């Protein structure tokens, strides 16, 4: 590790990208949600990103989905959750960057 600081030519402007965001956005986490079956049909997408408060339970993702698509409410009690490739209970706390899967009931033979 060096104790030197990179030199800047005299008169050269320093450029920094500054983004102004609301404080509550700074206090949020983003999780990536993969959608299957009925959820994918409702969103017409296979993946979405959801912003939640830090340490929100995974069931909060489902709550957000229900607000956006109330017709899916009938599937709430049958939906299971996966976080980062593991089945988890609804109260599992999420961290920024987690991958969430909503697992609807399936049938087949």
Q: Whole-angstrom Cα distance, residue 53 to residue 12?
A: 41
Q: What is the pLDDT of residues 40-65, one digit of tens each?
A: 999 999 999 999 999 999 999 999 99
Find, among 94, 106, 108, the residue nearest to 32 by Cα. Answer: 94
Q: Which CATH class is domain 23-103?
A: alpha beta
| Cross-strand bridge partners of residue 105 | none
Indicate the average pLDDT of the chain.
86
Burial class of residue 34, CB neighbours in 10 A (0-12, 13-18, 19+) = middle
pLDDT, tens digit (0-9, with 9 covering 90-100), for 6-45: 555 566 666 666 666 665 556 899 999 999 999 999 999 9
pTM: 0.73
């Amino acid at each position: 590790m060096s104790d030197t600081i990179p030199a800047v030519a005299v008169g050269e402007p320093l450029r920094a990208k500054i983004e102004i965001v609301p404080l509550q956005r700074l206090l949020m986490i983003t999780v990536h949600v993969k959608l299957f079956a009925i959820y994918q049909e409702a969103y017409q997408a296979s993946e979405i990103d959801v912003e939640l408060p830090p340490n929100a339970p995974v069931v909060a993702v489902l709550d957000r989905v229900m607000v956006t698509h109330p017709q899916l409410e009938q599937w709430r009690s049958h939906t299971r959750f996966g976080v980062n490739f593991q089945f988890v209970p609804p109260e599992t706390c999420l961290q920024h960057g987690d991958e969430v899967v909503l697992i609807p009931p399936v049938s087949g033979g």
